[in-house]
Structure 1
């Protein structure tokens, strides 16, 4: 069958739409993937939207389908069903040659760096420009710019074997930016790095997003990566999206048990030493009420001074896990109140002191 196109149609198909920030950049509809010989689907009906200029995290355990999903985003894998539309371009409509051209405008950062050991830092960054036929003078200018961006000017003539893991990943990031992409895909970009190096790479990615307004989609199994970097997050498990939303919202008020275990393992746990002392009713006159105050960014503030003023008497902080995500307090406090307080009274006193208030029980010290 011969396919005829109107003159200019393919050029329009491959030209990105320069929408303003906030417009949909990546649209995934009904995406499913089943590998040959497998009875279970690796992906099941994925629907996601990523807006232009945001950092979107996809988090899940090993084997959840994260890598398959990101490989479908650059068509290293062809989905069994569904569509991936990026910048208005349906990737399934592209020929192999058009797909190569499209990929040059889409940066990819890998977990294991994928540097050529026989080429220096500078040569690794320059290579995609050489392959694309960019003139030497333009290559030098672009590589100099990227070396400065990732902080490797002094290491530009070093070999990969002479670099730390963080430096290797910086080379990978610079290489991913050589064609000025509007979309950056990150496949477990920090999982091979130590915590301190991870923080420096996340800071660099945030800087790139802010300065260059690049949309970033990353997959990870690391809670801290999502917490520190992303604007939006989707939780994937067994090939399905369990929940999605702003990071502060999903992190502070997870709706699914898998999400609670993945993002906030202490969501419902009590300190182990406290559990045998806890009863649902008061056992002794000196039994003290244990309350849990949750904060999920809805406006309440974890102000211990204000709480102490509202509930006079002894106040013991048992556990605190409150963090600020996108300038919103998220987490919880466990407080042991004075023995003369009861549950009904505390609900009246502390309703406005937390986004969610839970009376856990009474603690009788042995």
Structure 2
């Protein structure tokens, strides 16, 4: 089943991957690597799973492609419990499930074209079909000019493009990405994310992406789940989790970076007003639920001397989330709470 992102009703009704009560404990371990994990991923979604090192991300993706068997719980893909598949059924199922790896896993003794073609050879696809499919994929990932190059001659981004093309040879409906951009520089990462986004839009492939990189979730994913010590501690639309993270780990991983006060203010900062000249320092937070008012309106409502100290607003899935830091007017400690999702007085600044 193919559902294009944007049809939110259809996405809500059509679950491609359903994980229920998933637990994984390795032999000799006393603590679960995964504990009671529940995930439901719709057809055509790009679903990000983020967590710090050791959170259980690799264990989870290995259960999703059945490189590991769960200790308990189920993983269903299109309603099929993959733990019940026979060896032959598993081989056929994996051909409908592409996998992209962090370190590319290319064969150094084969050219770009041969690396992409290899899964088709193994599957017994005839030569003419192989040629057509590889030509199509080379064009898709932009590597026509490099098709006869050896992997050692490629950049990291080009190697990952080969990996993406190889993962798509059997026309999968599900694409699993294991830290697919963590070995790449920021500019190359952006190009790979753009390619994955195009593949999702053009082909409707469901993408499940494991990462520890905040920007990957921000720039690519529709939904996100935060994994901590083998448990899902938070999940939802990316804009919602970014705009109003409920767990400390989520705030650390997903919130825009916050800076310390400038030195010019920090030396005059106190938690309580010390004189009539003390000016309140406000934080206005926005969680994406409503539009951010014009800055002129915010400044006008908070006093004639109010100035903007810092803006940490950003667009996530077409919604503005983040916060503004304002230095208010002395003698006017209150600000209209309707100007933001939440208003907080952080302290006071009193200039000599």
For 2:287 and 2:90, the matched residues in 1 are separated by 43
Question: Counterpart of 2:320?
Answer: 329
What secondary structure is seen at the aligned counterpart in 2 of 1:178? Answer: coil
Answer yes or no: is the 8 Å Cα contact 2:61–2:178 preserved in 1: yes
For 2:187 and 2:104, the matched residues in 1 are separated by 18
Superposition pairs for residues 57-136 of structure 1, below 5 Å? 57-136=48-127
Q: Does 1:361 find its partner at 2:351?
A: no
Given candidates 261, 269, 273, the residue that maps to 1:271 is: 261
Gaps of 5+ in 2: 5-9
Question: Counterpart of 1:186?
Answer: 177
For 2:48 and 2:67, the matched residues in 1 are separated by 19
For 2:90 and 2:98, the matched residues in 1 are separated by 13
Task: Measure how far apart 1:40 and its partner are.
Answer: 1.1
Question: Counterpart of 2:23?
Answer: 32
Of stretches 89-98 and 191-200 in structure 1, the one that deviates more from structure 2 is: 89-98
| Cα offsets for 1:255-297 (capped at 9, x unmatched) | 0111111112646x74274455333332122111111011111
Question: Counterpart of 2:208?
Answer: 217
Task: Measure how far apart 1:329 and its partner are.
Answer: 0.2
Number of matched pairs: 344
For 1:74 and 1:266, the matched residues in 2 are separated by 34
Of stretches 274-283 and 63-72 in structure 1, the one that deviates more from structure 2 is: 274-283
Cα RMSD after superposing both structures: 1.6
For 2:177 and 2:268, the matched residues in 1 are separated by 47
Superposition pairs for residues 1-366 of structure 1, below 5 Å? 21-22=10-11, 23-264=14-255, 266=257, 270-271=260-261, 273=263, 274-275=265-266, 277-343=268-334, 346=335, 350-366=336-352
Task: Measure how far apart 1:317 and its partner are.
Answer: 1.6
Answer yes or no: is the 8 Å Cα contact 1:27–1:84 preserved in 2: yes
For 1:275 and 1:65, the matched residues in 2 are separated by 40
For 2:125 and 2:169, the matched residues in 1 are separated by 11
